Structure 1
Amino acid sequence: MASVVPNGPQKRARIACVQCREMKRKCDGTHPCDTCRRYGHECRFAARTQLPEPKSPPARRIPLPAHIPPKTARQRSIVANSGQGFIRQVVKNIDPVNAPRLRLVAWNCGTRAEVAMPFIATAITDLLSQEQMTNLAMAYFEKVDPCYAFVERDRVFMEIGQRWQQPIPPRDVDAMLCGIAALGSYFSKAHTVAVERHLVKLAKTILDDLDVPTEPDLYTLTAWVCRVVYVRAACEPLTAYMASCSAMHQMEIAGVHHGSRPEKGIFELPKKIDCPPQILRRLFGVAQHLNTWISYDVGLSRVSLTAPDIPMEPEPPGQYSDKLLQLLPDTLSLDPLDTQDEDMLRAALETLLTKRDTQGPLVMAQANLLLTILRRLGSLRIGEDPLLEPSLRFLTKSLAAARKMNEDDEPWHHLANVPFQIFCMLLAIDTPASLRMVDDAVQTIIAITKSYNTTTLREAANTMYLILSLHKKRRRADAQIMESILATPLDLGVANNENMAETFTWPMPNENEVGWLHSLMAEFPTLQNMEYGDMVSSSWDSADGMT
């Protein structure tokens, strides 16, 4: 087979830009260079350097201003996946000049007030009595376990019974019990303990101090996932992101993910973790679920591992964690690195709209996925879209679920995040039907803020009213523009209107002549409540009045 001989050696630029030097990539020497254009970087060269002139300008390339880098499809997907990025975009669309710079808003319910301790705890027995630990574990299994069923109840209470009898604390057991106790406290006002945050800190200290083994055991993995669940519900985004990535890497080291047991490797082969396969599958699934959504929110890379090949079995009554994990395929398909056309997104949306579940956390997880698909589609603002009405009904159901969760004291991260995202989505859709739902979203957020009264929620409520004020200001400015136009009398330049009316009659238009009216109604949803005949007759009656 004949080899292909290249035309000649590829010419390299005599000088590379700063970005290409740092990234160690080839630079074509243009300004901006091809690499910077592709990744949206600011292309600049070192000072006192003469830039080589390109021999010929690129064909059919429209230069963009230096302050507007071109957005790639992946960048657009990252913004659409991030609810916080969507909030910023909504505010910019309302008032691009006066819009404030927002940080992450209503990402969770936030932390409670922290109680100072005169000493540093080194074991869970320094923070809790056995009775307190038992009450917190019962609260955990009542509120958290139905949604995230990755802990064996009997094993936990067995360890609680033994732990307060042992003088030498087993570190991995303490880390797991601290995580369970912290979540039990956070999800139960009746059993909330003042040392809740100290339980979280002690668990993190133990996990950080444990020597990295070749095979993290079940208690270590459980402690890591409990930490991720807590920090996602109560702490800052980057803290949750780092914890979720660490948990996924622990899964990888332990060999939990699919295809992770090679015959030979650098490290020793991981041994099989002693627990039921369903527990192991849910432990990995919850870690993957949280890492994926957190990475979408903060716009950073997720840890991509394949789930263990363990088939699902029927869940015990009252649990719905498997239903939650069934959302993972659609969730993972939204990765910015994957391509999805509109038909695939709409098919996923249609399937989601058929869900009839009633459990609050599950409904909120479904709503979170629905909102992300709507942001990726960006095409349901037209009132005639058949998926718009059922989507709004699902969002109404989600707001009701949030209020029920608030009454039941279930401060999942969705409790604040999803209602705020719904509020922004309703403003973005901007139809009469969506705007009528805004008050429902506002009252839901206010009720949640009153219940938990954290700094995070108070900031969210204030931001919500700021967005409403900007929206009202924008609408009022638009109305004033229309009023100023309509205040000018219509002058058709006719010398004698009375004689014109006697000698000329306006004909009624036929269907073809007013076809533009249908397009107008589609573009302006507020006109859709007016009957077609009324619009035609009123427009021509006005014309008669002008003659």
Structure 2
Amino acid sequence: MKRLRLIRIYQMESKYKKTRSPKCTFETEYDDRCHLALSRSPISNTESRVNGASRRDGARSRGRAASPPARKIRASSLEASGGTTSIPLLPLAMSESSGDQLKRKRARVACEPCRQRKRKCNGATPCATCTDWGYNCHYTDQTPRKRRLSQPSPTATASAKPFPPTAAAAAAADSLRSPDEAVPQSSHHQGIARSLEANSAAAFVRKMGLKVDPAQAPKLALFGWNIGARQLPSGTGTISARPIVDVISVADMKQLAEVYFTKIDPCYGFIDRRVFDDRLDTRWQTPLSSSSIYDSVLAGVAALGSLFSQRSMTITELHLVESARSILDGHDGSGPPSLELVTGWALRVVYMRMTAAPHATWIASSTLMHLIEAAGLHLEPSSTTPHDTVPLRPPAATQPHDREISRRLVGVAHHLNIWTSFDLGLSRVSFRTGLPRPAAPTTPGDYTPEVLNLLPASACLDPENSQTDSDLEPTLARVLQGTHTQPPSVMAQTNLVLCILRRLRILNLSITPQVTDQVLVLFGRALSYARAMVTDGSPWHQVANVPMQILYVLLEMDTRASLAMLPAAMQTVTLVATTYDTATMREAYSTARLLVSLYQQRRSEDTRVLAEVLNLAPGGGAQAGETGTEPFSPRVDELSWLEGLVAEMPSLQGLELEPWLQGDVLAGGEGWE
């Protein structure tokens, strides 16, 4: 009996070794076929039943080689080595202890191959049947039946969805939404992309080049973003942070401070001159004292004064920049930032905007905005706040004079962060309280309010803003009507106008001829002021940035009036590049020449095509005279209608129609030649 039992088990193992996967156990099969059969019936009956099942399975496998056996043995794990030896059969007592595992479990969802072949599926991915027979296991989305009111178990959920959703799955889910839900989201994203492209001059120039000549189009970069980093004539040695009293004398410090308050403070006025002079005298009277946070303000003012007084880099300026950087980066941040720390960071961002790379400047400007929020400088004291309410961050400045300084500091920080973010197409830092209140002039030579008054229109150009495209032209008209007297203020106004024009161009929206004339007049003023600032030794970032953008827009406008202004724009770019001979300006100058050259080649090709068209019909005027056709003479109403049409088309402005509408010109007289 024992020998026959082992023989039958060996036959069962041999039969299933011929399948694709030997991962099966004969515990259940033995309980169903062998154990009970051996205890209740003769050996011959068991042998015939097992042999019959083998013959049926063999015939079925020969008839349908791609189908699993009809009586599939429940799968479990075999040996880890691959299954040349079977797991020994468990006794009946041990099998009864694991009765819950031996109960049949029906999968809630069957894969498609098992559904087509009507085979049992365990709901895994891939399932056991597909793994054994090499099928391509996949599931189709099906609506759950209504009679199944209970939620699926976590095990079933995990088996039905074994992988987290991917980007492709998310895109497929978006495609399954209704058109009413998908269209607004798509249009919103497209609007943001268009706004980012228009706000950034780099993307605008790249698109211009691709439109003219894709093979020679400029790369995606901010050309002429500032004058660039200046280099020492004799090379740079080791620069280490030193106390400011060891870097510069008090006389030189006062001289550089005078340059700062003469050239920079009128438009970026966020430092109290009286407090600054007092702290300067006190610092040099106690040179042995340790460096304080206000030393970063002194070093920042001196570095900017050196930048606006020396066209070449000096070793003193490098030490001043390093001293300010070391103090600002070494702040432990144990408490709320002080006004002195925020002022030092603001001076650092102003210096970087004129000399550093765009991304480094954006990071510094974002840090400045976060410091302002942490210090509470953006908060305004409100008289409507209940007395029993304690604000988490009270305003850092409570005195009226300090409050005005804080507003100016926050406004300049907004101005720098907004436009740096726009140029790079990155996010800007905004506060829940919105923009600061408009600043008021404090002295006769204070022009900071002119720059800060541009903040509302600048913030409206944020890609995330809900402003409609139809509001762009009224915004442009308001900006053009603003009062700006100083060169840096006019350059900031021009920079805003250029951004609005790029937005209008991307949207294929035209402006009226009157607004076009105002824009060209502003461009002429900006180019003139840029040349004056270069001659005066004032390397504002707009000195290089605005002339380059004007050149781009003039080429894109492509009218006779705009092309007539191109020589002045190119002359200004050349002057800046020769005065500040940096790698940044050399690249900007080469890019400007490349764009003009590409447009000139396109015009030459267009002229050649037009000449070929004229050569196809030589002597057209003489043939018309020979046939006796009378020359065309337009009526007055037709002429006025055509002039009105030309007036509405900016590309045809400046075209004289009367000579071309005379009878002798149209008839091929002397006027044609």
What TM-score do you get using the length of structure 2 for normalisation? 0.66
Q: Note if contact 2:435-2:456 (Cα within 8 Å) is conserved in structure 1.
A: no
> Residue 276 in 1 paired to residue 402 in 2?
yes
**Structure 2: stretches of 5+ with no match in the other structure:** 1-145, 150-156
Query: Which residue identity is paired with 1:137?
Result: A
Query: Which residue identity is paired with 2:528?
Result: A
What is the CA-CA distance between 1:231 and the residue it aligns to? Answer: 0.3
What is the CA-CA distance between 1:169 and the residue it aligns to? Answer: 2.0
Shift in CA distance, 260/482, structure 1 to aligned 2, threshold 3 Å = farther
Of 455, 480, 487, the match for 2:615: 487
Query: Which residue identity is paired with 2:667?
Result: D
Q: Distance in 1 between matches of 2:451 and 2:512?
A: 31
> Residue 206 in 1 paired to residue 320 in 2?
no
Query: Which residue identity is paired with 2:612?
Result: S
Matched with 1:470 is 598
Matched with 2:170 is 27
> Residue 360 in 1 paired to residue 487 in 2?
yes
What is the CA-CA distance between 1:436 and the residue it aligns to? Answer: 0.4
What is the CA-CA distance between 1:117 and the residue it aligns to? Answer: 4.0
Query: Which residue identity is paired with 2:172?
Result: G
How many pairs were matched up? 498
What is the CA-CA distance between 1:420 and the residue it aligns to? Answer: 0.7
Of 311, 317, 321, the match for 1:196: 317
> Could you report, residue by residue, the CA deviation over 1:103-126 in whole angstroms, capped at 9, with x for unpaired residues?
210000112114534462242223
Of 411, 432, 448, the match for 1:321: 448
> Residue 286 in 1 paired to residue 412 in 2?
yes
Shift in CA distance, 396/190, structure 1 to aligned 2, threshold 3 Å = closer
Q: Note if contact 2:345-2:368 (Cα within 8 Å) is conserved in structure 1.
A: yes
The 5-angstrom pairing of residues 198-237 of structure 1 reads: 198-237=319-358
Query: Which residue identity is paired with 1:148?
Result: Y
Query: Which residue identity is paired with 1:314?
Result: P
Q: Note if contact 1:109-1:452 (Cα within 8 Å) is conserved in structure 2.
A: yes
What is the CA-CA distance between 1:355 and the residue it aligns to? Answer: 3.5
What is the CA-CA distance between 1:83 and the residue it aligns to? Answer: 2.1
Matched with 1:413 is 541
What TM-score do you get using the length of structure 1 for normalisation? 0.81
SS in structure 2 of the partner of residue 72 of structure 1:
helix
Q: Distance in 1 between matches of 2:489 and 2:460?
A: 19
What is the CA-CA distance between 1:461 and the residue it aligns to? Answer: 1.1
Matched with 1:389 is 517
Q: Note if contact 2:270-2:406 (Cα within 8 Å) is conserved in structure 1.
A: yes
Relative contact order (alpha carbons < 8 A, sep ≥ 6): 1 or 2 greater? 1
Shift in CA distance, 470/209, structure 1 to aligned 2, threshold 3 Å = same
What is the CA-CA distance between 1:534 and the residue it aligns to? Answer: 3.2
Of 208, 211, 215, the match for 1:90: 208
> Could you report, residue by residue, the CA deviation over 1:471-517 in whole angstroms, capped at 9, with x for unpaired residues?
1111111112222222223799xxxx799825x65765657888678
> Residue 429 in 1 paired to residue 557 in 2?
yes
Q: Note if contact 1:217-1:273 (Cα within 8 Å) is conserved in structure 2.
A: no
Matched with 1:50 is none
Q: Note if contact 1:255-1:270 (Cα within 8 Å) is conserved in structure 2.
A: yes
Query: Which residue identity is paired with 1:168?
Result: S
What is the CA-CA distance between 1:536 and the residue it aligns to? Answer: 6.0
Matched with 1:239 is 360
Matched with 2:228 is 110
What is the CA-CA distance between 1:334 and the residue it aligns to? Answer: 1.0
SS in structure 2 of the partner of residue 249 of structure 1:
helix
Q: Distance in 2 between matches of 1:76 and 1:98?
A: 24
Q: Could you tell which deviates more after superposition, 511-520 or 196-205?
A: 511-520
Query: Which residue identity is paired with 1:27?
Result: A
Q: Note if contact 2:299-2:324 (Cα within 8 Å) is conserved in structure 1.
A: yes
Q: Distance in 1 between matches of 2:474 and 2:561?
A: 23
Query: Quick check: which has more Rg, 1 or 2?
Result: 2
> Could you report, residue by residue, the CA deviation over 1:169-227 in whole angstroms, capped at 9, with x for unpaired residues?
23311211111111111111299742313322322222121111332112101001001
Shift in CA distance, 347/526, structure 1 to aligned 2, threshold 3 Å = closer
Of 461, 464, 468, the match for 1:337: 464
Q: Note if contact 2:527-2:568 (Cα within 8 Å) is conserved in structure 1.
A: yes
The 5-angstrom pairing of residues 434-449 of structure 1 reads: 434-449=562-577
Q: Distance in 1 between matches of 2:197 and 2:251?
A: 47
Q: Could you tell which deviates more after superposition, 298-307 or 189-198?
A: 189-198
SS in structure 2 of the partner of residue 195 of structure 1:
helix
Identity, % of aligned positions: 34
SS in structure 2 of the partner of residue 104 of structure 1:
coil
> Could you report, residue by residue, the CA deviation over 1:426-448 in whole angstroms, capped at 9, with x for unpaired residues?
11111000000000011111112
Q: Note if contact 2:369-2:429 (Cα within 8 Å) is conserved in structure 1.
A: yes
What is the CA-CA distance between 1:454 and the residue it aligns to? Answer: 1.7
Q: Note if contact 1:80-1:86 (Cα within 8 Å) is conserved in structure 2.
A: yes
Matched with 1:5 is none
Q: Note if contact 2:412-2:452 (Cα within 8 Å) is conserved in structure 1.
A: yes
Query: Which residue identity is paired with 1:29?
Result: A
> Could you report, residue by residue, the CA deviation over 1:269-325 in whole angstroms, capped at 9, with x for unpaired residues?
665477622111101110111101111111001001235765644320111001211
